[in-house]
């Protein structure tokens, strides 16, 4: 998930180090996904993996962030919106770990990248944003790419594909919910999300807890999901504080590359040529829209400066 910036606030100055931080964060988040896939395949319940991911994440934020911010970390303009965002975050996490149990890492990640295209499709109604032709073209190209990835000959689990599309749609709603709390400090939003996830899953914990027979390394891997999640999102926040979102957005699609590499190294799964073509179409759709948006933003900024 990418941090949101409140409307009207100036973009951070151009700093290419933000690109490196962004890519490093994406690799950590792909590592989190690979760890979750490994653990679910090892027999750890999805809800248990999700609980550990949020519990460790929240513990690290409490140790690192809370002493610095104090009570200010809880200051929000809308607790209700934060809770809605937290619910959608839990749903996205649980759904995506369920997808990873059924689909290869690269394909699951590629389908999840339909989320930004879903946001473009529903934003005119939920966010009252203007309809734009290039956005709809991006949605159509991305959808075509998704159809290539999930084609009958791809031999993907149909339940996994359905869950993947549901995950992408839920993630799109989560991104919209994140925009609606953009007026709050990003660390506040991150902390509320972790707290809500930990609390909600802790209530359900007695119903799904089992003690899996894991090796010491797998227990370490289970705990590491919270560590990689925490540092992955921290690097993302640092990247967006150094570089404009319009500069970083195209690089987000490199997460599909990291997912493909980790899927090959860890699970021996590599997309075929036709599947790779579908993934490329999804990436090109998102990249095309991101670059067009960046160009339009540059034109608007230039016109404003000329008027001043």
275 half-sphere exposure, CB direction, 13 A CA radius: 21
- CA gap 265, 186 in Å, rounded: 34
Q: Are 31 and 230 contacting, i.e. CB atoms less than 8 angstroms apart?
A: no
Give the C-alpha separation, 250 to 275, whole Å.
21
Query: 44-74, pLDDT tens digit by residue?
Result: 999 999 999 999 999 998 998 888 888 888 9
Q: Tokens representing 248?
A: 């970083």
* Chain centroid, CA 287 distance in Å: 16
As to burial, measured by CB atoms within 10 angstroms (0-12 exposed, 13-18 middle, 19+ buried), residue 157 is: middle
Q: How confident is the model at residue 15 (pLDDT cuts 50, 70, 90)?
A: low
Q: For CA atoms 99, 105, 111, 112, give the dihedral sign.
A: positive
- Check whether 7 has a pLDDT greater than 50: no
Read off the pLDDT of each residue in 218-246 and give the average, rounded to a whole number.
83
Neighbours of 2 (CB within 10 A): 18
Cβ burial 16-28 (10 Å sphere, 16+ → b, else e): eebbebbbbbbbb
Residue 174 three-state SS: helix
Q: What is the mean pLDDT of the chain?
A: 83
Q: What totals of helices (H) and strands (E) does the chain contain, helices first?
A: 13, 0
Q: HEC string of 19-80?
A: HHHHHHHHHHHHHHHHHHHHHHHCCCCHHHHHHHHHHHHHHHHHHHCHHHHHHHHHCCCCHH
Element holding 300 (H helix, E strand): helix 273-307
Average pLDDT over residues 280-304: 79
Question: Counting beta carbons within 10 angstroms of the beta carbon of residue 203, is it exposed (0 to 12), middle (13 to 18) or buried (19 or more)?
Answer: exposed
Name the CA radius of gyration of the chain, rounded: 19
pLDDT (0 to 100) of residue 146: 81
Residue range 261-277, pLDDT digits in tens: 899 999 998 888 888 88
CB 262 within 8 Å of CB 136: no
Residue carrying structure tokens 């090892």: 42
Specify the range with the lowest mean pLDDT, choosing from 144-148, 194-198, 230-234, 303-307.
303-307
CA distance linking residue 253 with residue 138, whole number of Å? 14
């Amino acid at each position: 998930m990418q941090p949101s910036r409140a409307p009207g606030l100036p973009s951070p100055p151009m700093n290419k180090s933000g690109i490196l931080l962004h890519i490093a964060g994406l690799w950590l988040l792909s590592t989190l996904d690979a760890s979750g896939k490994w653990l679910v395949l090892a027999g750890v319940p999805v809800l248990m993996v999700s609980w550990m991911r949020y519990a460790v994440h929240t513990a690290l934020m409490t140790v690192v962030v809370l002493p610095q911010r104090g009570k200010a970390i809880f200051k929000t303009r809308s607790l209700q919106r934060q809770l809605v965002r937290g619910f959608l975050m839990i749903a996205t996490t649980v759904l995506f770990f369920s997808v990873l149990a059924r689909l290869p890492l690269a394909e699951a990640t590629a389908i999840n990248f339909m989320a930004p295209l879903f946001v473009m499709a529903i934003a005119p109604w939920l966010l009252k944003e203007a309809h734009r032709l290039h956005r709809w073209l991006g949605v159509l190209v991305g959808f075509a790419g998704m159809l290539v990835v999930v084609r009958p000959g791809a031999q993907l689990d149909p339940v996994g594909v359905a869950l993947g599309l549901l995950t992408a749609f839920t993630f799109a709603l989560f991104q919209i919910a994140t925009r609606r709390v953009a007026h709050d400090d990003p660390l506040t939003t991150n902390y509320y999300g972790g707290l809500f996830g930990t609390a909600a899953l802790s209530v359900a914990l007695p119903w799904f807890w089992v003690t899996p027979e894991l090796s010491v390394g797998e227990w370490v891997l289970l705990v590491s999901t919270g560590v990689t999640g925490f540092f992955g999102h921290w690097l993302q926040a640092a990247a967006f504080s150094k570089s404009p979102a319009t500069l970083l957005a195209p690089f987000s699609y490199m997460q599909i590359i990291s997912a493909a590499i980790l899927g090959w190294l860890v699970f021996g799964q590599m997309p075929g040529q036709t599947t790779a073509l579908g993934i490329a179409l999804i990436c090109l759709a998102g990249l095309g829209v991101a670059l067009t948006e960046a160009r339009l933003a540059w034109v608007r900024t230039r016109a404003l400066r000329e008027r001043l």
